[in-house]
Amino acid sequence: MSQAYDIKIAEAINTLKELIGDKALNVTLAFSHQSEDAINISLAQKAGIDFDVFTLETHKLFDESLAYEKEIEAFFGVEIKRFSANDEQIKDLEAKVGEFGIFDDIDLRKECCHVRKLIPLARALKGYHGWISGIRIAQSITRSDTKLVEFDGKFELLKFNPLTHFSDEDVERYMTEFAIPQNSLYAKGFKSIGCKPCTRAISEGEDIRAGRWWWENPEHKECGLHLHKEK
Ligand code: SF4
């Protein structure tokens, strides 16, 4: 158990060092207010690579997540660049979706993710050779084919997933071992963190992604950022 954990950390650091650092690639790291993102910053610093950090300001985030951004900037000494859709795009979206559209119609829910997340993500990734994400195979059935390194055909750059083989326990252990601050939502029963209207706390024994878009079929529970194929 202990050896496997150490091997996974070495694998993650070597991936970042050899495929990004040694090749002097220009990369940016996604921060989505979760422990995985903080671990990636820690691993990237251990690997000694140069990297930027960005987050998507959807204007639907929890106050706890906004506070966590500041905490992580101070803890690691990094600047998190914020990207969002423009005012007109948000206004048009709100007129179209209304108050409950994301719950009533999956196409409207996807439209909301498209405007609030995918449009700014395209801007955040522009000009980079690759991006670093915190997705893991263990997180959900939609992530079962995650690889350590893959080509992101949607945005046409490399995508590095250093935590591909990390279990939930590995994430907990790394956060504790290196005393990394956690988003305070975890202590309130949240296990996967996203926008306020689409994220809820879960009960003991529920799948960690059960609190995301809980009203939808499991195969649809993604916002489009990490899909290998459109569902
Ligand atoms: Fe909109 Fe919910 Fe997607 Fe956030 S997660 S962009 S609120 S549909």
Q: What pLDDT, in 10s, does the model give residues 40-88? A: 999 999 999 999 999 999 999 999 999 999 999 999 999 999 999 999 9
Give mean pLDDT, residues 123-151. Answer: 92
C-beta of residue 133 within 8 angstroms of C-beta of residue 210: no
User: Which of the four pLDDT bands, split at 50, 70 and 90, describes residue 220?
Assistant: low
- The encoded tokens of residue 99 equal 């108050």
pLDDT at 212: 81
In this predicted structure, the answer to whether residue 223 has a pLDDT above a threshold of 80 is no
- What was the ipTM of the complex prediction? 0.99
List, in sequence order, every beta strand (DSSP E) within the chain.
27-30, 52-56, 80-83, 130-132, 149-152, 157-160
Is 220 annotated among the ligand-binding residues? Answer: no
In this predicted structure, the answer to whether residue 35 has a pLDDT above a threshold of 70 is yes
C-beta of residue 180 within 8 angstroms of C-beta of residue 75: yes
Check residues 230 and 143 and name the one with the higher pLDDT.
Answer: 143
Is 77 annotated among the ligand-binding residues? Answer: no
In this predicted structure, the answer to whether residue 202 has a pLDDT above a threshold of 90 is no
State if residue 212 touches ligand 1 by the CB under 6 angstroms criterion.
no
pLDDT at 221: 67
pLDDT at 206: 82
The number of residues in the chain equals 231
pLDDT at 229: 43
In this predicted structure, the answer to whether residue 29 has a pLDDT above a threshold of 80 is yes
User: Which of the four pLDDT bands, split at 50, 70 and 90, describes residue 228?
Assistant: low
Given the residues 12, 72, 115, 223, the one annotated as active site: 223
Amino acid 226 reads H
- With b meaning 16 or more CB within 10 Å and e meaning fewer, what string describes 109-126? bbbbbbbbbbbbbeebbe
Taking alpha carbons only, the member of 40, 52, 42 closest to residue 163 is: 40
Kind of pairing between the strands at 157-160 and 149-152: antiparallel
The residue whose C-alpha atom lies closest to atom 7 belonging to ligand 1 is 195
pLDDT at 113: 95
Full set of structural domains in the chain with CATH: 2-220 (3.40.50.620)
pLDDT at 2: 52
pTM of the model: 0.92
State if residue 195 touches ligand 1 by the CB under 6 angstroms criterion.
yes
C-beta of residue 70 within 8 angstroms of C-beta of residue 184: no
Is 126 annotated among the ligand-binding residues? Answer: no
Helix axes 35-47, 168-177, angle to 10 degrees: 60
Determine the Cα–Cα distance for residues 10 and 16; give it in Å rounded to an integer: 10
Among 33, 92, 112, residue to substitute to test ligand 1 (most atoms within 8 Å of Cβ): 112
pLDDT at 231: 32
Amino acid 28 reads T
The percentage of residues in the chain with a pLDDT greater than 70, rounded to a whole number, is: 94
Report the SS3 class of residue 152. Answer: strand
In this predicted structure, the answer to whether residue 145 has a pLDDT above a threshold of 80 is yes
pLDDT at 230: 38
Half-sphere exposure of 94 (CA within 13 A, CB side): 10
